[in-house]
Structure 1
Amino acid sequence: MSTRTLLRGGTVITSARAGEVLTDTDILIGADGNIEAIGRGLDAADATVIDVSGRIVHPGFVDTHRHTWQSVVRHVASDWSLTEYLAGLHTGLSKFFRPEDTYTGNYLGALEALDSGITTLVDWSHNLATPAHADAAVQALMDTGMRAVFAHGGGAQQWGALPSTNDHPADDARRVRDQYFSSDDQLVTMALALRGPQFVVPEVNTNDFRLAKDLDLRITMHVGDGYWGKSGPIRKLKDEGLLSDKITYVHCCTLGDDELDMIAESGGTASVSPDVEMQMGHGFPATGRLLKAGIRPTFSIDVCSSNGGDMYGTMRTAIGMQRALDNAPSVDTGEVLERIGLSVTEVVRFATIDGANAAGLGHRTGSLEVGKAADIVVLDGRSLALTPMNNPIGAVVYSAHPGLVRDIFVQGKQVKKDGVLVGVDIDALRKRAEASRDYIVGEMPEAKLDGSWHPELAKKG
């Protein structure tokens, strides 16, 4: 049996260079799971050939921040404010998750992401009440076969009264690093999900950063998220000498322009969660402000308990919001805009190579180039929404959706074939997810699943 695969004749969006689209192009996947060659009419007589002519082929998306464990209570927060989310889920339903529920949430949520074309996921795992919860979360990611970064975030108990005096659970983070991630050259790797200086006292923040340095791990943290984000967190980090190019700053909506400049100067990266930011009052997504500061934005789903979990929808929200913000001044002044500021080409790069760079994986994934991992998505060419094929990148941003994701490869292994995830028992997973949901919600009498539950109102009643 051949150990190489040839994708024949696709319309290839590479993300290697802005706007690069290669028509009628082959991709040869080597036995090691990396891309061996890209070109027309490649000769690979010993390879398994898959005809992708007339179909868009693009790099797997990179989600740079998702609380994956929440997938078993998806949409419970679709009408919630940030206050309701914190009360109802983060410090509410979260405490009823058993390790097996964490496993199910992570397995379901990660497969949801993979099924929709997200091949790399930064799992911001902040419901690790015990070491057993951490073990379950890690194992679930590994069992999906996707590329992931497990961002160890402790549990709700680490937050407490704000600003918190509780250190990040260092012993468990060290254990997880030693037990599962002794090598950084594997499909699932590790980072630290830290709370940031607006949520903890200075000594705790210093301790948490020291832990990340000791473990040689990247950091991902929330900043600029509504009111809390206006406390100057980046200035505090700079004053303490903690800014670096190993940090991804999530949201950034209410950071000052000077703080964005500080991030840019330090080489830091940013993650934008447009759907949740607009819903929960974080502020306007910072996409355009980040670009102006010289920072390449990336995209994240954030709380899948509230909004949908695919990158196509996220790209549309982000570009629509930023174009509206860019166009608003001309509406007031009557100035005629000759060109739109943010292009679809840029947006696709945010969702692919820029996301990979933010996750510390740009050398492995995020673009289709010889020598990189074959993390590849192939869309269904039969869709009328993509017919005729005039602008492939525009089609990906404005017309593609998870239902069009036909085939997916991660490190050269086909994990979705002809529209179906390979080796996944969907019916069994659905039953398991429903059982976890029923248990968790059943432990909180005021919780309801029909959309009528508002935690603050229930609390006052």
Structure 2
Amino acid sequence: MRTFSLFSSLLAISQLLLLLPSTARGSDTLFRGGTVLSFDNATESVKVLYNTSVLVSGSQIVSISPQSQNVTLSPGTEVIPSEGKIISPGFVDTHRHLWQSAFRTLGSNTSLAEYFFRYSEFTQAGTVFTPDDVYYGQIIGIYESLNAGVTSILDHAHHTWSNATALAGLNASIASGARVWWCYAFHNLTNGYTREDQLADFEYLSQYGPWRNSSTTTLGLAYDPISLDPPSLVQTVVNVAKQQNVSVITAHYLGGPWGFVNSPVLANSYGILNTSIPVVFSHGSYLTVQDAELLRSTNQYLSITPESEMHYGHGDADSQLIQDQAALGVDTHFTYSTDIVTQARIWLQSVRLLFYNQVRANWQIPRNNPMSANQAFLLATRAGGLALRRPDVGVLVEGAKADIVVFDGTAPNMLGWVDPVAAVMLHSNVGNVQHVMVDGEFKKRDFNLTVGDDYAEVQQQFLNSARRIQAIWEATPLPDLEGDYPYSSGILYGEAVTVDVVRGNSTGY
């Protein structure tokens, strides 16, 4: 029985809304006369179109044409003047844990070892977070993404501590209107919610869950214990995924001293890679040559999460070598930005530095730049769509989904641009995102979110939830990380050098 009446009311309303025809939409929309960041299939690269108009009808882009060309418009078409604007495809985030919003700023100085015992799904979260907490954390995390122009998110949804918390996150994803691949996590919990319970709930949601009436949320599967479960159990989970024809399978892959060796090599031994289901491995900190070859031969993808891998210290020494089978993700948005443009920028500059260093190590001067802004843009857009086997996502071409972001190119930090891709990748910020459209519907309009009349109520309910949870975590002692690291045999905890910018005694954290 649900004890939180507001969650129950929202759930009931969302289920009623899902019964309405999904094709019910407003008038067509014409973005007139902007600079369009389209895509050229022949050259597999960005195609910049100046003074160009984009016509949206229903959930699709139906026409991209020069502004000077007359386009037949249906009665009631809304025309949005877009001169001086840069029109981009929506950005794609291929790895996130959306429920964690209530932890925001608590983990600003955390390490990955500390994260495992303080903020992950294996902590007290499974007993403290109610369905309401999950719902509001999930939807606020998505609103943060939409505000930044991230229209598609692969959610590794490890808030599946019970049937109720699982359903809460799923319903929040649907209610947000974002394009979400909600991946039900199978994991080894200590709260009594067994793997058998999880399998039963997943199969029920697969067949009867509210996502079946959604045009933007699909059901996937997140499975981290591939390297820990008995082979028979792994095969059972894989068979269920195939039977239910999930939209994606995802798993964390760290390796090295970390453990969590859910590698492409291991996944392939269970037949996970050679199916019609896309598979996304997150991080790939200790990716091998064999892993990379399998990603390419089976057309599966790695999600690189640049800020996360720097913040937590995963290590990603070889990810730059598999960028042809990679996309970008955020990971834990409570610790840093949820903006994929920022992730692309961090990754671009780190790759540049890495390859520059290889030349300078030989006492030579680099004559060229190792990676272009265009490549970073493709990682943030089209590559994400390809990782999910959705060539109609992450591109602005006729026939693609109408997931659109409009940047204000006249803002002080953008004004005077010549290269619109560089303007977005290296100069823009979230404040420049003027409009965001998902599946043909505005989610941000004139710099303001347009996510529903109850947004103020959602904000207040989230704050109530976050303040309660934050008080509990702040009163909980930090984990004692001494001796053996429990996830890999023979690995010890070590001390990193810490820095201080103030002379004298350390100012600490």
TM-score normalised by structure 2 residue count: 0.82
SS at match of 1:25: strand
Q: Distance in 1 between matches of 2:407 and 2:161?
A: 39
Task: After superposition, give the CA deviation of every residue in 1:169-195 in whole Å (9 maximum; x if it has no partner).
Answer: 211111111123675982111110111
Asked which structure has the greater CA Rg, the reply is: 2
CA contact (8 A) 1:301 1:309 kept: yes
Q: Does 1:434 align with 2:466?
A: no
Letter in 2 for 1:414: F
Secondary structure, in 3 states, of the residue corresponding to 1:83? helix
CA distance in 1, matches of 2:176, 2:61: 22
**Which structure 1 residue ranges, 5 or more long, are not aligned?**
448-452
Q: Aligned partners of 1:267, 1:314: CA distance in 2, in Å?
A: 23
Aligned pair in 2 of structure 1 residues 350, 88: CA closer, same or farther (>3 Å)?
same
Match of 1:28 among 28, 31, 55: 55
SS at match of 1:407: strand
Match of 2:125 in 1: 94
Alignment of 1:155-234 (within 5 A): 157=189, 166=195, 169-180=198-209, 183=212, 186-217=215-246, 218-224=248-254, 227-228=257-258, 231=261, 233-234=263-264
Map of 1:121-136 to 2, 5 A cutoff?
121-136=153-168
Q: Deviations over 1:120-150 (max 9, x none)?
A: 1111100111111111111111111111111
**Residue in structure 2 matched with residue 456 of structure 1 by the alignment:** 480
Question: Higher mean Cα deviation, 431-440 or 306-315?
Answer: 431-440
Specify whether residues 255 and 368 from structure 1 end up closer, same or farther in structure 2 by C-alpha distance, changes over 3 A only. same
**How many angstroms apart in 2 are the aligned matches of 1:275 and 1:78?**
12
The 10-residue stretch of structure 1 (1-10 or 106-115) with the greater mean CA deviation from structure 2: 1-10
1:368 paired residue among 396, 399, 404: 396
Question: Which residue matches 2:485?
Answer: none
Counterpart in the other structure of 2:494: none
1:73 and 1:189 map into 2 onto residues whose CA distance is 26
Q: In the alignment, which residue of structure 2 is the partner of 1:450?
A: none
The alignment partner of 2:369 has SS state of: coil
1-structure distance, mates of 2:413, 2:381:
22
State how far apart, in whole Å, the 2-side matches of 1:66 and 1:348 are. Answer: 19
Structure 1 match to 2:273: 243
1:147 counterpart residue number: 179
Q: 1:229 to 1:11 in 2, by over 3 A?
A: farther
The root-mean-square deviation of aligned C-alpha atoms, in Å, is 2.5
Q: What does residue range 251-330 of structure 1 map to in structure 2 within 5 Å? A: 251-284=283-316, 286-291=318-323, 295-330=324-359
Query: How far apart, in 2, do the equivalents of 1:159 and 1:317 lie?
Result: 38
Pick aligned residue for 2:106 from 76, 85, 101:
76
Once residues 188 and 104 of structure 2 are traced to their aligned partners in structure 1, the CA distance between those partners, rounded to angstroms, is 19
What letter is aligned with 1:94? A
> What residue in structure 2 maps to residue 402 of structure 1?
430
Q: Which residue of 1 aligns with 2:6?
A: none
Alignment of 1:63 with 2:93, yes or no, is yes
Tell me, in whole angstroms, the C-alpha distance in 2 between the residues paired with 1:421 and 1:175. 33
User: Does the 8 Å contact 1:287/1:318 carry over to 2?
Assistant: no
> 1:5: which partner in 2?
29
Deviation at 1:167, TM superposition (A): 6.3
Letter matched to residue 240 of structure 2? L
Post-superposition CA distance 1:77-99 (Å, at most 9, x none): 12111111011111334221100
Distance change in 2, residues 1:405/1:168 (3 Å):
farther
Q: Quick one: distance in 2 between partners of 1:203 and 1:279?
A: 36
Q: Structure 1: how far apart are the matches of 2:191 and 2:234?
A: 12
Q: Distance in 1 between matches of 2:256 and 2:103?
A: 24
**How far, CA to CA, are the matches of 1:133 and 1:159 in structure 2?**
13
Indicate the residue corresponding to 2:22 in structure 1.
none
Cα shift at 1:229:
5.1
Q: Secondary structure at the match of 1:58?
A: strand
Deviation of 1:444 after TM superposition, in Å, equals: 4.5
Secondary structure of the 1:14 match is strand
Work out whether 1:357 is the aligned partner of 2:386. Answer: yes
* 1:261 CA drift (Å): 1.1
Q: CA deviation at 1:454?
A: 4.1
Q: Deviations over 1:249-272 (max 9, x none)?
A: 111121212221122112211111
Residues 323 and 454 of structure 1: is their aligned pair in 2 closer, same or farther, counting only changes over 3 Å? Answer: farther
Given that 2:34 and 2:83 are in contact with CA atoms closer than 8 Å, whether structure 1 keeps it comes out as yes
CA distance 1:328–1:198, change in 2 (3 Å): farther
Give SS of 2:442's match.
Answer: strand
Once residues 189 and 168 of structure 1 are traced to their aligned partners in structure 2, the CA distance between those partners, rounded to angstroms, is 21
Task: For 2:213 and 2:298, locate their aligned partners in 1 and report how far apart those are by CA, in whole Å.
Answer: 23
Distance 1:2 1:124 in 2: 32
Pair 1:26–1:382, CA change in 2 (3 A) = same
Which residue identity lines up with residue 118 of structure 2 in the other structure? Answer: G
Q: 1:421 aligns with which of 449, 453, 457?
A: 449
- Does the 8 Å contact 2:359/2:366 carry over to 1? yes
Shift of 1:296: 2.6
Distance in structure 1 (CA, Å) of the matches to 2:139 and 2:333: 13
CA contact (8 A) 1:59 1:375 kept: yes
What residue is the counterpart of 1:18 in the other structure?
45
Distance 1:443 1:398, change over 3 A: same
1:377 is matched with: 405
